């Protein structure tokens, strides 16, 4: 029997990269998944991949920073898949620069996607978690639910040119600690995973000029010069960056029944870089 059979998971930013790997990992363990991306096409690809495994998945696409998105994606899980047991707040991107060049727009954008969006999603889920727990406790059958917020070693320890990104990623750690205390009585484990150097389109190497990604019609430079990336790899104990599937494995660990007595923790997944 699949270890997460009967569970319903939500993974934001799961059309690509780490988010897709997380969605696939949870689906492979038996969970039904609400997939999300800014764009319809990558989300549809993830849904198709999950269905190819024999799993269930639906897409709830759009900008996680929209004021109504939290309510919308929780509603999609409850009505489209019939419940909500696992939330992975993964969506995000980087917008780096030194502090003297950091604009108010840039600061707010990083806080919105990495802290405010998870806050709104978890606020929207709170009524379902509380009401479900009360019914289950009355029947002496409390179901353990899971929240995994995605942070970064940049949030935990700082990183040059990432003052706004780091602030957003550390904010979600504070949220994690707080909700672990608030929601323990409802049987909800709230933890975070802080990633180090994971191979994604945001960390790709380049020789001459960086690649760009588009977010809400705006272009953002991503990646690292090849020589800088090599130096960063040398500081990792395992000698290499992590793969998206390995990052997904760290999240998966905290979603297992074996993690039912772990809450309020930050698991660092960085190959020993620190």
Contact assessment for residue 74 and residue 84, using Cβ atoms and an 8 Å cutoff: yes
Residue from 93, 157, 165, 186 carrying the catalytic annotation: 165
165 is catalytic: yes
Beta strands in 5-44 (DSSP E): 8-11, 32-35
Q: With CA atoms as reference, report the closest residue to 197 among 243, 165, 151, 252.
A: 243
Instruction: For the beta carbon of residue 140, count every other beta carbon within 10 angstroms.
Output: 6
Handedness of CA 52, 56, 61, 66 (dihedral sign): negative
Rounded Cα distance between 235 and 202, Å, is: 19
- Lay out the sheet containing 32-35: strands in order across: 57-59, 32-35, 8-11, 86-89, 145-152, 188-195, 266-269
Length of the chain: 274
Which phi and psi (to 5°) does residue 19 adopt? -60, -45
Which phi and psi (to 5°) does residue 162 adopt? -125, 40
Collapsing DSSP to helix, strand or coil, 35 comes out as: strand
Positions annotated as catalytic residues are 165
């Amino acid at each position: 029997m699949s270890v997460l059979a009967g569970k319903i998971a939500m993974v934001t930013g799961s059309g690509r990269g780490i988010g897709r790997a997380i969605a696939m990992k949870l689906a492979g363990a038996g969970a039904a998944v609400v997939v999300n991306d800014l764009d319809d096409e990558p989300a549809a690809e993830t849904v198709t991949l999950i269905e190819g495994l024999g799993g269930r998945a639906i897409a709830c696409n759009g900008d996680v920073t929209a004021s109504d998105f939290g309510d919308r994606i929780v509603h999609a899980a409850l009505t489209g898949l019939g419940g909500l047991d696992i939330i992975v707040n993964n969506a995000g991107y980087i917008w780096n620069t030194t502090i003297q060049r950091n604009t108010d727009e840039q600061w707010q954008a990083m806080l919105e996607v990495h802290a405010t969006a998870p806050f709104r999603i978890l606020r929207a889920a709170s009524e379902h978690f509380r009401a479900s727990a009360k019914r289950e406790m009355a029947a002496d059958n409390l179901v353990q639910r899971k929240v995994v917020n995605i942070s970064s070693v940049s949030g935990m320890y700082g990183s040059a040119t990432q003052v706004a990104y780091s602030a957003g990623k550390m904010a979600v750690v504070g949220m994690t600690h707080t909700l672990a205390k608030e929601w323990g009585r409802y049987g909800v484990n709230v933890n975070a995973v802080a990633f180090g150097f994971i191979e994604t389109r945001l960390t790709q190497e380049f020789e001459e000029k960086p690649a760009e990604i588009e977010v809400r019609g705006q272009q953002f430079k991503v990646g690292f010069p090849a020589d800088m990336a090599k130096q960063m790899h040398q500081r990792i104990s395992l000698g290499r960056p992590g793969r998206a599937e390995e990052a997904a494995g760290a999240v998966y660990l905290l979603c297992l029944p074996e993690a039912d007595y772990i809450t309020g923790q930050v698991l660092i997944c960085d190959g020993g870089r620190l």
